[in-house]
Structure 1
Amino acid sequence: MTGWSSTAIWGIIAALGVGTFLVRFSFLGLLGNRDLPEWVLRHLRYTAVAILPALITPMVLWPNATGGQTDPTRLTAACLALAVGYWTKNAIATIATGLGALFALQAFGL
Structure 2
Amino acid sequence: MNPESPGPLFIFPPTEVPIGTIKIYTNEMISIVVSHLPDDTWGAVENLCSHDNGTLGEGYLQNNLVICPRHGAAFDCVSGAAKSLPAVRSISAYSVSLQDNGYMAIDHQASA
> TM range, normalised to the smaller chain?
under 0.3
Q: Which has the higher contact order (CA 8 A, sep 6+)?
A: 2
User: What's the TM-score, normalizing by structure 2?
Assistant: 0.23
User: What's the TM-score, normalizing by structure 1?
Assistant: 0.23
